[in-house]
Amino acid sequence: MTNNKYIKGMTGQDEAEAYLINKGCQVLYRNYRLRSGEIDLIVQDGTYIVFVEVKYRQSVELGFPREAVTRSKQHKIIKTALHFIAETNRPNQDYRFDVVEVLGMPEKFEVTHIINAFTC
């Protein structure tokens, strides 16, 4: 049985990934997972390693997708990112946390890229 929520999430993530590639980013990892959490996309943007949380909704009826990136979710992403930095031996690397909000239907997506959406 296919999980509809999973398919919708992957649709949003595919769109966010295409958007970031079009902006010149190089995708390093997709769905980087640890027990502490998951990071949807890790990309290289110039000198920055960017940890990207992707949020997708078809409408704003329940609020904007970015509003789902709660403080608790941010802490999980930060904890996972710090593990990634240590694991890949990048202690002096510039990094940031972005949110890519995907809104609408596949025929007409609206993508909003929030750079430095939150910090450690």
Q: Tokens for 94?
A: 């510039």
pLDDT of residue 106: 78
DSSP assignment letter at 62 = T
The confidence score (pLDDT) of residue 118 equals 97
Instruction: Give the tokens for residue 114.
Output: 């929030």
Of residues 30 and 1, more confidence is placed in: 30
Encode pLDDT of 2-53 as tens digits: 556 555 557 899 999 999 999 999 999 999 999 989 999 999 999 999 999 9
Domain boundaries, given as residue ranges, for the chain: 4-118
pLDDT digits (tens, 9 = 90+) for 52-109: 999 999 998 989 999 999 999 999 999 999 999 999 998 788 999 999 999 998 788 9
Query: Which residues, at least 6 apart from 88, have a Cβ–Cβ distance to it below 8 Å?
Result: none
CATH class of 4-118: alpha beta
Distances 73 to 21, 45, 76, 89, 101 between C-alpha atoms, Å: 25, 23, 5, 24, 15
